[in-house]
Structures are given as structure tokens and as C-alpha cells.
Amino acid sequence: MSQSRYHSAPVETPGMPAGIPYIIGNETAERFSYYGMRAVLVTFMTKFLVDSAGQANFMSEPEARSYYSLFVSSAYFFPLFGALLADMFWGKYRTILWLSIVYCLGHLALALDDTRAGLFLGLGLIAVGAGGIKPCVSAHVGDQFGKSNSHLLEKVFGWFYLAINLGAFLSTLITPWLLNSAPGWLATNFPKLVPADPVQLARLGPHLAFGLPGLLMVLATIVFWMGRNVFVHIPAQGPERVARSLTGEGLAALLRLIPLYCFVAIFWSIYDQSGSAWVLQAEKLDRRILPGVDPEGAWGWLGRDIHPEQIQAINPFLILVFVPLFSYIVYPIVGRFCRVTPLRKVGVGLLLNGIAFGMSALIEQAIQAGATPSMYWQILAFALMTAGEVLVSVTCLEYSYTQSPPEVKSFVMALYLLSVSAGNFLTFLVNKAILLPDGGSRLPGAQYYWFFTILMLLAALVYVPISLSFRARSYIASGDEPVEL
């Protein structure tokens, strides 16, 4: 490695750091792999799982919701270990590189084995790999900046979040098609390439749907490795220094953030069910692109159902629209009338999330009454939830980085991600508690949705007075003195 190009501190230049394109490219492909796999996970568990003999071994809906939430919780728990590994021993670059390989092996297990053994092995490896790199990647972005170009940090974090959602948008459209439709399409157009037996043909769907995300994760790893000579590589601090950093100001920074993260955990408990409960609900909706159009007519494609998992694609699509909309239009307009602060953004985001889940409760009530609501009602709920995500997640991503001293930035990012884990673990516990021996639920139908809606609205209400006591300080990687906000 060329020592002249291997930087251990931010290069002071007013321009964009040279390593940013590699990080953005890596993030786009990695998020494609993660969200593509996750988009079809609940459907796979409820419709495609088999036993070792190849016989159907499906999960019930409450059981699938439970394991889905446990996986997401695990994926956001392992950032804690990834951060410690990076800060104590390997540094961020090597931690990201080696755990990305573990990540690829998880995708390989899912793609090759459609039994519960393959499911749990694959999800376990992906949780370790995806979780372990999460705090390192976002902190690695900030490490590329010094004092002279720190003004570009907010813009790059915006690009970073756009990269996440571009990958998520594309994969959420493609992998459901691979799972549900690609085998039939291949049988029609390339019959010699696929099994003639219908049962074997159907089992091809999971291999395709999980295989493509695996290939994208391999691509993400290669792109990240290609940037090795232009990255700023902040060296590992060592166990003793990390331990010291978690005292004094480092500990104070963590303690200042924990109350905020407790409320954010409730947000994620509700939000991440858009990939489980809302997918299961979408199966009962009218999913025609244009309701009322004859699917066999001249404009028949507008009257055909989309796959229930594909409705999730509206979330990353709206993120691509909402991030610049909020940054350049909404915040400046609102700022004319009141001060727009990170903590106020979070409060409004919590409220919007509760309202969105309340809409899903009303949709479920209509389904129970025998109606078949249009998917556009759920899309409206997605729009409200996505606005809440911009206010909470984008804000907390930047806020977590700026609120932590340089020596504990990875650890603080892991602590933020731990709030996502805690929220999903709460969902897992609730689903386990309400699961009946026959596979039913103690909170059937709309009752389930109303439970979480009330929980979110109560959390938003309690947040208001508590947030008034929060005090913030800002740090950047160049080591400048913290600034009171």
C-alpha cells in the first residue's frame, strides 16, 4: 500500500474527500443486498420454507412477525461489537472488510438452503456481518473530513442516506419479482434452464431472490476494497484508550444521548413493522395499480396486482424525494416562524409515526369488516411514516456523529443503532407474548395495530417535556473544542 496515500488524519482540503465515492458506492450495493433480502423474508417464512425432506414447513403469521423482528433486532445489536472491534483492535477499514465477508457467507446460506436451518444460519451470519459494519461505515464517512471541509458533512450524510434508499428502492422492486414471478417467467421463456416439476420450479424463487442480494454484497465488498488507498484510516485506539474514552466527557456524551435513544427505540418498534405486519396486511389489499381497470383489457397491466412486498418500495422512493424536499424547502420555510432544531424534528417524527400506524389499524378494521381496501391507503400511511423517518433517522444519524468525541464516534453510532435493536426486540417480545399455541394471536386483527399506535402516541407525548431538558454539544473529527448548542 502506498504510504503517501494512506492517511491517518483528515487531509485539510476545502473539497470533497477522495474516498467518498467508494463509500457511497459500497453503501448503495450493501443496502440493496440487505433490504432485498429483508423485503421477501416474511413471505419466504410463511409460504416457501421447507423441511429437510423438501416438504412445506411454513410459519404462522405471528411466528413470522416474531422471527422477523428478532432478526432485525440482532442486526442492530451487533453494531456494539463491531464498534468495539474497530475502536480497540482492527480500525474501521479492516472491520468493515472482514465482516463484509461474513455478510456474504450469510447470503450464500440463504440462497442455497430453504430450510429453517439455512434460514437461521443465514440470518445469523447476516446479523453479525451487517450489524458489525453499520457503526463503522457511518463513522468512516465522518472520518474523511477535517476542519476545512467539515461544512460538507451534512451534504454527504444526506447523500449517504440517499444511497441507502436508492439501493433499498431497487431491491424492493426486484427481489419480490424474483421470488414470486421469475420461476414462471423462466419456465415460459427458457424451459430448458429450469426444473419441469412445478414443486421444484417454485423452490427456485427463494434461490433467485436471495442469490441476487448476495451478489450485490460481493460487489459492495469489492468497491470498498478499491478505495483502500484514498481513505482516511483512523487507527484503532486500543483497549486501554477506549476504556479511558468511556469515562469523563466520553461517558457524559453517552449519558446525554441515552434518553433520546429510548424514545427513538419506540419509533423503530413501530417503523420496522412495515416490513412484516404491513406486508402480511398488503396480501389482503386491492393491489391493482389502477383499481377498476380490466386486467385483460387494452390497458390490462394497470389492472394487475403488484406483489405485496413491492409496496415497501414506496418508502425508499419517498426518501429520495423527501430528503431534499425537507432540507431545501420544508425546513427553511418552517424556520421563518420557529427555530428548527434536531430535537424538535425528532418530536414531530415520533408523532407522524404514530399517526401512520393508526392508519394501518383503520385499514385492518376495514379488512375485518369484509372490505378490500386499496393499497393506496397503505401507501398514504407509508408517506406519513417516511416523513417521520426523515425527521428522526436522518437527524439522529448526523446528530449522533456530531454529539460524540472523536475517540468514541463508532461506539456512539453503535449506541444509536442499539436503539433500533431495542425497538425490534420489544416487537419480538410482544409477538411472543401474544402468540397462542395454535398459531393464533391474543391481539387479533386491528387490536394488534392499535396496541402499537397507542404506545407510539404516548411516547411522543412524554417526549415533549423530557426533550426540553436535553443539552447538546458538537464535535468534529479534527479535534476542535466542543461547542454548546
Decide which of 448 and 12 is more confident: 448
- Cα→Cα distances 13→8, 18, 113, Å: 15, 10, 49
Give tens-digit pLDDT for 146-165. Answer: 766 667 777 777 777 778 88
Segment holding 473, helix H or strand E: strand 473-474
Q: How many beta carbons lie within 10 A of that of residue 200, not counting itself?
A: 12
pLDDT for residue 2 is more than 60: no
249: pLDDT strictly greater than 50: yes
pLDDT at 83: 83
Q: What is the distance between the alpha carbons of residues 212 and 90, in angstroms, rounded to a whole number?
A: 30
Reported as a single tens digit per residue, the pLDDT across 193-228 is 888 888 888 889 999 999 999 999 999 999 999 988
Residue 480 in contact with residue 410, Cβ under 8 Å? no
According to DSSP, the residues that pair with 56 across neighbouring strands are 50
State pTM to two decimals: 0.86
Mean pLDDT of 408-434: 87
Return the pLDDT at 198: 85
The residue to which cell 413491492 is assigned: 310
Structural element, H or E, at residue 474: strand 473-474
pLDDT at position 139 over 60? yes
Which amino acid does the sequence have at 435?
Answer: L
Task: Return the minimum-mean-pLDDT range out of 11-15, 94-98, 261-265, 329-333.
Answer: 11-15
Over residues 69-91, the mean pLDDT reads 90
367-382: pLDDT as tens digits: 999 999 999 999 999 9
Residue 95, classified by CB atoms within 10 Å of its CB into exposed (0-12), middle (13-18) or buried (19+), is: buried
Confidence of residue 300 (pLDDT cuts 50, 70, 90): low
Domains and CATH numbers, the chain: 3-295+302-484 (1.20.1250.20)
What is the 3-state secondary structure of 317-383?
HHHHHHHHHHHHHHHHHHHCCCCCCHHHHHHHHHHHHHHHHHHHHHHHHHHHCCCCCEHHHHHHHHH
Q: Is 248 left (phi over 0), alpha (psi -120 to 50) or beta?
A: left
Is the pLDDT score of 485 beyond 60?
no
When mean pLDDT is compared across 200-204, 274-278, 298-302, 335-339, the lowest value belongs to 298-302
pLDDT band at 13, cuts 50/70/90? low
Residues 81-88: what's their mean pLDDT? 85
